[in-house]
């Protein structure tokens, strides 16, 4: 097997469960770090045996809250990944982190372990909003953690959530302007979505949670792109902005439909034409790894039509769009066989797609990417459309 591969490592534990979160995250009173370290390494070795010869381009510790992991565990995973896969030069190694003082105090240890990029879950620059979002930190703690992160890592990103209940366009503009003044080279700005199974979903169903109107949401999205570009962080993916050269290499591997291995509870992977899923419940995953050496729940061939659909879903989110040659090489299907030429012509005439061989949304089309995908891929199943 050849080509590049990214590695995703899932740490499922959190201090609290946020009311908007539908990720595989769990609150536990205690975690046996040594046992988890050995299990992650075993799951890692299983993936390495199946991807021999591929070159590692990135490692991403996600969650959950991977900054709750002991730095020694992080170091062990990084060292083993370096041993198991070939790589060219320094690879991007990202750690998602909560901005609490306890976790920030260990940033230097994570840097020593090999982490060279941190993604900080600030989420809001307002104490009332942080409380509403169920975040375990306040604004002062968040900003202090950001300072510590910038002192220890050359590449720092942080997340913000907009279109929150009660938020106005003017309030978001002021908050975003403040965020951009911090000088990080990457910013992820997400629109709040109400996901099934979350506490926010229950509240919304009861009429107890009201989001801003769609017009205001669209204005916030457009404003985000304008302010970030003016600050030197142009949009490169629907929710992500970066200085040129500071884009997330790991996420670009996803968005360009490259291979990635996923280890840890609930982790997903795409490698060698197979879709892999790990067991979700942490204790069940741990027991499976102990008994058989891996935590896989399912491993299924990716049908060409599914590969094409996923490639379209991912690629159209990118500002650079989808190159037809690269698309055909990755999915085995011509782009014109997925994205209806008739629909493309119609959407280009409406100013929602740019003319030319590259399939790319315009500034006007980007806020309605989901609708563009539905129009373009009318012949494909649409069960996996991603939120804008």
Give pLDDT, residue 379: 52
Both 354 and 239 in one domain: the answer is no
Tokens of 253: 């591997």
Domain final position from 226, 253, 280: 253
Give pLDDT, residue 384: 36
Give pLDDT, residue 90: 87
Instruction: With respect to residue 26, please indicate whether it lies within any of the assigned structural domains.
Output: yes
Give pLDDT, residue 263: 98
- The string of pLDDT tens digits covering residues 290-346 is 999 999 999 999 998 888 888 998 999 999 999 999 999 888 899 998 898 999 999
Distance, in Å, from the CA atom of 220 to the CA atom of 216, rounded to the nearest integer, reads 6
State what percent of residues in the chain have pLDDT above 90: 73
Give pLDDT, residue 30: 75
- Beta strands at 240-242 and 268-271: parallel, antiparallel or unpaired: unpaired
Domain final position from 253, 276, 305: 253
Q: Which residues make Cβ contacts (< 8 Å) with residue 185, sequence separation at least 6?
A: 155, 156, 157, 233, 242, 243, 246
Both 73 and 220 in one domain: the answer is yes
- Provide the domain limits for residue 155: 4-253
DSSP 248-314: -HHHHHHHTT-EEEEESTT-EEEETTEEEEE-SSHHHHHHHHHHHS--EEEEEE--HHHHHHHHHHH
Instruction: With respect to residue 43, please indicate whether it lies within any of the assigned structural domains.
Output: yes
Instruction: With respect to residue 30, please indicate whether it lies within any of the assigned structural domains.
Output: yes
The total number of residues shown for the chain amounts to 388
Give pLDDT, residue 16: 79
Distance, in Å, from the CA atom of 242 to the CA atom of 318, rounded to the nearest integer, reads 13
Give pLDDT, residue 201: 84
Both 233 and 120 in one domain: the answer is yes
- The string of pLDDT tens digits covering residues 361-379 is 999 999 899 899 889 986 5
Give pLDDT, residue 249: 96
Instruction: With respect to residue 8, please indicate whether it lies within any of the assigned structural domains.
Output: yes
Instruction: With respect to residue 287, please indicate whether it lies within any of the assigned structural domains.
Output: no
DSSP letter (8 states) at residue 353: B
Instruction: With respect to residue 305, please indicate whether it lies within any of the assigned structural domains.
Output: no
Instruction: With respect to residue 277, please indicate whether it lies within any of the assigned structural domains.
Output: no
Regions of the chain where pLDDT drops below 50 = 381-388
Instruction: With respect to residue 265, please indicate whether it lies within any of the assigned structural domains.
Output: no
Domain final position from 219, 237, 253: 253
Give pLDDT, residue 387: 33
Give pLDDT, residue 381: 44
The total number of structural domains that make up the chain: 2
Give pLDDT, residue 193: 86
């Amino acid at each position: 097997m050849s080509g590049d591969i990214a590695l995703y490592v899932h740490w499922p534990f959190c201090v609290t469960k946020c009311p908007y979160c539908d990720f595989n995250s769990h609150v536990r009173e205690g975690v046996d770090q040594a046992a988890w370290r050995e299990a992650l390494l075993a799951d890692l070795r299983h993936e390495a045996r199946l991807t021999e010869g591929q070159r590692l381009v990135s490692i991403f510790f996600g969650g959950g809250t991977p900054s709750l992991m002991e730095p020694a565990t992080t170091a062990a995973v990084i060292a083993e990944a370096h041993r198991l896969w070939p790589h060219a030069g320094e690879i991007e190694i990202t750690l998602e982190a909560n901005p609490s003082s306890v976790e920030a105090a260990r940033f230097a240890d994570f840097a020593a372990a090999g982490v060279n990029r941190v993604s900080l879950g600030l989420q809001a620059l307002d104490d009332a909003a942080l409380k509403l979002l169920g975040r375990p930190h306040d604004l002062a703690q968040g900003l202090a953690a950001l300072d510590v992160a910038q002192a220890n890592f050359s590449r720092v990103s942080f997340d913000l959530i907009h279109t929150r209940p009660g938020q106005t366009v003017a309030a978001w503009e002021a908050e975003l302007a403040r965020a951009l003044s911090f000088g990080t080279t990457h910013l992820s700005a997400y629109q709040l979505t109400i996901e099934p199974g979350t506490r926010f979903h229950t509240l919304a169903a009861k009429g107890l949670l009201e989001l801003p109107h769609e017009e205001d949401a669209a204005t916030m999205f457009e404003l985000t792109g304008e302010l970030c570009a003016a600050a030197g962080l142009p949009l490169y993916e629907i929710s992500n902005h970066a200085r040129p050269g500071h884009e997330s290499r790991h996420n670009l591997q996803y968005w360009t439909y490259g291979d990635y291995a996923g280890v840890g509870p609930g982790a997903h992977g795409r490698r060698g034409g197979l879709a892999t899923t790990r067991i979700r419940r942490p204790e069940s995953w741990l027991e499976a790894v102990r008994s058989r050496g891996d935590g896989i729940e399912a491993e299924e061939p990716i049908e060409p039509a599914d590969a094409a659909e996923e490639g379209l879903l991912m690629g159209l989110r990118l500002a650079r769009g989808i190159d037809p040659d690269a698309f055909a090489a990755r999915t085995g299907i011509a782009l014109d066989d997925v994205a209806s030429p008739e629909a493309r012509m119609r959407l280009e005439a409406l100013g929602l797609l740019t003319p030319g061989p590259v399939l790319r949304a315009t500034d006007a089309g980007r806020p309605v990417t989901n609708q563009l995908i539905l129009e373009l891929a009318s012949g494909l199943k649409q069960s996996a459309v991603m939120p804008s």
